[in-house]
Structure 1
Amino acid sequence: MNNRSVKLGNEDVKKLLIDLSLPAMIGMIVNALYNIVDTMFIGNGVGTIAIGALAIAFPIQMIIMAFGQMIGIGAAASVSINLGKGDVEKADNVAGNSFFAVVLLSTLIMIIGLVFLEPLLEIFGATKNILPYAKDYISVIFLGSIFLSVSMSGNNLIRAEGNAKVAMFSMLIGTGLNIILDPIFIYIFKLGIKGAAIATIISQFASFIFVISYLRSGKSILKIKFHNLKPDISILKEIFAIGSAAFGRQVAGSIVAIVINNSLKFYGTELDIAILGTVNKVIMFLYMPLFGIVQGMQPIVGFNYGAKKMKRVKETVKLSLIAATTLAGIGFIVSQTLSVPIMGAFSSDNDFIINGAEVLRVVVLMVPVVGIQIVGASLFQALGKAMPSLILSLLRQVILFIPLVIILPRFMGLPGIWRAFPIADFGATVVTAIFMINEMKKISLQDEKLKKLELECRE
């Protein structure tokens, strides 16, 4: 068995979780930092109206990312479980099928996106003033969507085999290059918001090359050959089923954006759309360490669940919950106490800073408990249980949040939109906790049965 597989099944869980989570956290924090820096460059170099364009374009990027995440996370969970079972050939077939699927889907997305560009942006809430900026940005993003999707999917496969450092480097390469290229294209070449999009595509291409090079280098556990790329319906169904929760979560965010952007057009102004876009970037930065933890958690849980080492599964989940809640609490304190300077970094517009700081403080009220949501949904993904994971992923953003965004403003006006965030977070956390408690009880029962069986075999 490969050394990384031995580590997943035998190394101290606390050390293993740190080893796998820390690189993922660094990579994702840097990636989120890029989004923040990108918004800062655009806000200060082009204006708040361009930040509004990013608020419209970003949910469309999330849909592009959703397909890469769906295939990547679905394949990664299956790869981890099959490596835990010792079925390396099945793991290779899953990886190969994931590349076939992601290339096909990302190509279709690019074509559809470019053909229906303007009506798509209008659906997502673009106003007359925001539309030209949003078109300049997202048209370039669509052209390079295949690089983003393949690098995201491949990154998840690399992490699934326990090689978190390589996965981290693939993210650092793209993000670091993006931060360097942004001011060059925006300020030196004077391409404005389109320059930011070009910088993003070049950076994603660099990550794409890195991921493909690693998987072809022979250093990976996965040995993807031409015959592994042949589509297998049963494997594709498994990938899509497991990854559907990640897809649902990402697309749900885009559906929410349609509702909230159009609500802001009615109850607020273009400034409020720009504030929302900025606050979302800040929240994403706060959440990235939590996603890093669960990305480290998933291969450990998936491998040990497949290997029937339930004690290690339980310990991993417990440690992940503690770490996620601690980091979420730190993020809450920072965003509450530094809300004004945080918003001031994106624009010199005084109305944007003051109103944005107030919105940020309201939106993050329930951040201390969101770690439970994130760990819970990821747990069911790692176990290969698609339906509970999908329900939990949709719960906060669709089942609770959308009705709240529609109903609350009718009674509270614009503040009702912002208050929908913490209310939805609280409700989703309660339900997720119930799901997790029930699942952990089932895992404990399996652990007891395995122990009894082991004793009977010894006797």
Structure 2
Amino acid sequence: MENNTFLEGKIAAPLIRFAIPLMMSLVLQALYGGVDLMVVGKFGTTASISAVATGGQVMQAATVIITGLTMGVTVLLGQAIGAKKPEEAAHIVAGQIKLFTCIALLITVVLVCFAKQASLLMRVPEEALPETITYIRICASGMIFITAYNSVSGIFRGMGNSRSPFLFVLIACTINIILDFVFVGLFHMSTAGAALATVIAQASSFFFSIVYMKYTKKRRLPFRLKLSDFKQKGAVRRIISLGLPIAAQDFQVTVSFLIITSILNSLGVVASASVGIAEKLFVFLALVPMSFMSALSAFVAQNVGANNISRATKAFFVAVRISFCCGFMVFLLTFLQGDFLASIFTNDPEVIASTQLYLKSCSFEYLLTAINFCMLGYFNGRGRTKFVLLQGVLTVFLVRIPLSYFLSRLPGTNLLIIGIAVPMSALFELLLCIGFFIKLQKEKKVVMP
């Protein structure tokens, strides 16, 4: 296991070693939607781009529920391992299996049955509506595999192992890219082919992870999972208590993107495609702060379990310095080269020009997000997930959505003006996080979930 370096010795080296596989995993995960959008954009129409972009956001709204709860599992497992309590760790994993199976089945049924209603709610342009519905229904059918993959990855991260999840997603991404070109480029299946490629890739990733965990001795769980562990009720409650605020935070952020996309979809298919491209780019461009958010959650959680808050706080400042330096470079890239970034996904000059305007406004967000995400990871590791949820709700519903709507209704508005809402909401979030961080440093008591 890799978790021993979290609790002693230098901070920067083990934190970076843990963050790099996370970063690479996020790159590959981003390629799922990114390659779907790129291949469909090169071989399909503007309506197809809109369908994949909007359908992908609907699926993301469902997936973040799982990833948020998975973060709760990672934190709880990390604290149990840090406190040297293997039986408690086994209870948590058993609780995760029970809880996630039920949630995956529920999400599948809801999305398959209500894909059309979700698309209409998103104000999908009429010419993109049929393909959007098809994309959502096919992807939803593979929700059980998406859930299973995230479950296994969350367990490994809680153990301090970020390399194995990277291997799983590398295999899945490779399959997804190959099948995208086969289904979309060769067989001209458009959005249906992109969705089918994603489902097959996720299923392959999950089955490989099971075989890998069973037959690789060094990667087996550091505890035995027994039938009696599944009878424990407290683990499910603790996962929900800690993970639900994280899931709700991620969900409401994604819902805000859906609402903003819905607002901008009313401006036409070009605006819809432009914002969809910008959102796909965000996943790539915010890789470093997102990686440190996950890395800090695990690192801080283990040190909280070992009652070493000072080390956890030092790790936070190390992550902020690295993240902000990278954020500054991304700011320059999006502010100066938005047209180049947009051209990766489409050849349509109108969409490229529109995306460039939006990215220029949004570019300032990357300076602020570099700090915000590190703070959220620190708060998650400290078990303060309720604040993470609260600040997210306030940021989205008091600033981002109202401001986006207001700016979209101004006479002669364009995406350059509307995009101002993005950095303004990030600034508001930063002020909230700084205030809570100062408050948290004054507390002496360690709060355990």
TM tier, smaller? over 0.9
C-alpha contact (below 8 Å) 1:304/1:312 kept by paired residues: yes
Matched with 1:454 is none
Deviates more, 1:165-174 or 1:142-151: 165-174
Whether the 8 Å CA contact 1:248–1:393 is kept in 2: the answer is no
Indicate the SS of the match to 1:313: helix
What residue number does 2:142 align with? 144
| Secondary structure of 2:123 counterpart | coil
Partner of 1:417: 418
Unaligned runs of 5+ in 2: none
The one of 176, 179, 184 equivalent to 2:177 is 179
Q: After TM superposition, which residue ranges in structure 1, 4 or more long, deviate above 6 angstroms?
A: none
- Residue of structure 1 in register with 2:251 after alignment: 251
1:393 matched residue in structure 2: 392
Q: Is the 8 A contact 1:174 1:207 kept in 2?
A: yes
Q: Find the aligned partners of 1:374 and 1:134 in 2 and give their Cα distance.
A: 31
* Structure 1 gap segments, 5+ residues each: 448-459
Query: Equivalent residue of 2:7, what SS?
Result: helix
User: Which residue number corresponds to residue 76 of structure 1?
Assistant: 74
Distance 1:328 1:41 in 2: 28
Q: Say whether the 8 Å CA contact 1:9–1:304 is kept in structure 2.
A: yes
CA distance in 1: counterparts of 2:51 and 2:35, whole angstroms: 16
How far is 1:421 from its partner?
1.0
Q: Return closer, same or farther for 1:194/1:228 CA change in 2, 3 Å cut-off.
A: farther
Q: Supply the distance in 1 between the matched residues of 2:391 and 2:213 (Cα, whole angstroms).
A: 32
Select 1:21's aligned residue among 19, 22, 29.
19
Which amino acid is the alignment partner of residue 55 of structure 2? A
Show CA shifts across 1:87-141 (max 9, x none): 1111111011111111111111111111122112111222221111112211110
Name the amino acid aligned to 1:422. P
Show the counterpart of 1:455.
Answer: none
| 2:440 paired residue number | 439
Partner of residue 363, structure 1: 362
Match for 1:163: what amino acid?
N
In structure 2, C-alpha distance between the alignment counterparts of 1:246 and 1:50, rounded to whole Å? 32
Query: How many angstroms apart in 2 are the aligned matches of 1:178 and 1:292?
Result: 22
Q: How does 1:213-292 map to 2 (within 5 A)?
A: 213-217=211-215, 218=217, 219-223=219-223, 225-227=225-227, 230=230, 232-266=232-266, 268-292=267-291
Deviation for aligned residue 1:278: 0.4
Task: Indicate conservation of the 8 Å contact 2:176/2:201, yes or no.
Answer: yes
Aligned partner of 2:54 in structure 1 is: 56
Provide the secondary structure at the position in 1 that maps to 2:127. coil
Summarize the Cα distance change of 1:122–1:16 in structure 2 as closer, same or farther, 3 Å threshold: same
In 2, distance between residues paired with 1:108 and 1:186?
29
**TM-score (normalizing by structure 1):** 0.91
Structure 1 pair 216/131, CA: closer, same or farther in 2 (3 Å)?
same
Write the distance in 2 (CA, Å) between the matches of 1:180 and 1:6: 38
C-alpha contact 2:270 2:354 (8 A) present in aligned 1? no
More displaced stretch, 137-146 vs 366-375: 366-375
User: Is 1:341 the counterpart of 2:340 in the alignment?
Assistant: yes
Q: Aligned partners of 1:124, 1:220: CA distance in 2, in Å?
A: 43
| Preserved CA contact (<8 Å) 1:71 1:240 | yes
Residue 384 of structure 1 aligns to a residue whose secondary structure is: coil
Within 5 Å, give how 1:320-339 maps onto structure 2.
Answer: 320-339=319-338
Structure 2 Cα separation of the partners of residues 312 and 9 of structure 1 = 8
Quote the offset at 1:67 in angstroms: 2.4
Q: Given that residues 93 and 224 in structure 1 are in contact (C-alpha distance below 8 angstroms), is that contact kept between their aligned partners in structure 2?
A: no
Give the direction of change, closer, same or farther, for the CA distance of 1:395–1:78 in structure 2 (3 Å limit).
same
| 1:95 corresponds to which of 78, 93, 111 | 93
Distance 1:285 1:179 in 2: 16
Deviations 1:290-325 (A, max 9, x none): 111222222211011110112211211111111111
* Secondary structure, aligned partner of 2:358: helix
Which deviates more from structure 2 when the two are superposed, residues 315-324 or residues 213-222?
Answer: 213-222
1: CA distance, partners of 2:228 / 2:68: 19
Aligned residues: percent identity? 20
- For 1:15 and 1:46, how far apart are their aligned partners in 2? 45
Which residue is 2:157 aligned to? 159
Q: Tell me the distance in 1 between the aligned counterparts of 2:125 and 2:144.
A: 28
Deviations 1:412-438 (A, max 9, x none): 544453221111111111211221222
SS at match of 2:420: helix
Whether the aligned pair in 1 keeps the contact of 2:153 and 2:165 (CA below 8 Å) is yes
Q: Is the 8 A contact 1:325 1:372 kept in 2?
A: yes
**Secondary structure in structure 2 of the residue aligned to 1:178:** helix
SS in 2 for 1:304: helix
Q: 2: distance between equivalents of 1:204 and 1:192?
A: 19
Amino acid aligned to 1:394: V
Counterpart of 2:237, as a letter, is: K
Read off the aligned partner of 2:243 and give its amino acid letter: G
In structure 2, C-alpha distance between the alignment counterparts of 1:222 and 1:70, rounded to whole Å: 24
Aligned match of 2:193: 195
The one-letter amino acid of 1:103's match is: T
Are the equivalent residues in 1 in contact too, given 2:75–2:297 (CA < 8 A)? yes
Change (3 A) 1:325 1:99: same
* Matched position secondary structure for 2:307: coil
Are the counterparts in 2 of residues 304 and 313 from structure 1 also a CA contact under 8 Å? yes
Report Cα offsets for 1:343-385 as digits up to 9, x if no partner.
1121111111111111111122221121221111221211122
Distance of aligned partners of 1:148 and 1:358 in 2 relative to their CA distance in 1, 3 Å threshold: same
Q: CA deviation at 1:151?
A: 0.5
The aligned residue for residue 301 of structure 1 is 300
Other-structure match for 2:126 = 128
Find the counterpart in structure 2 of residue 457 from structure 1. Answer: none
SS at match of 1:375: helix
Q: Distance in 2 between matches of 1:396 and 1:111?
A: 31
8 A Cα contact 1:95 1:222, kept in partner: no
Are residues 293 and 425 of structure 1, via their aligned partners in 2, closer, same or farther at CA, if it must alter by over 3 Å? same
1:426 aligns with 2:427: yes
Q: Does structure 2 retain, via aligned residues, the 8 Å contact 1:28–1:289?
A: no
Report the count of equivalent residues.
442
- TM-score, normalised with respect to structure 2: 0.93
Counterpart position of 1:450: none
In 2, Cα distance between equivalents of 1:424 and 1:354: 24
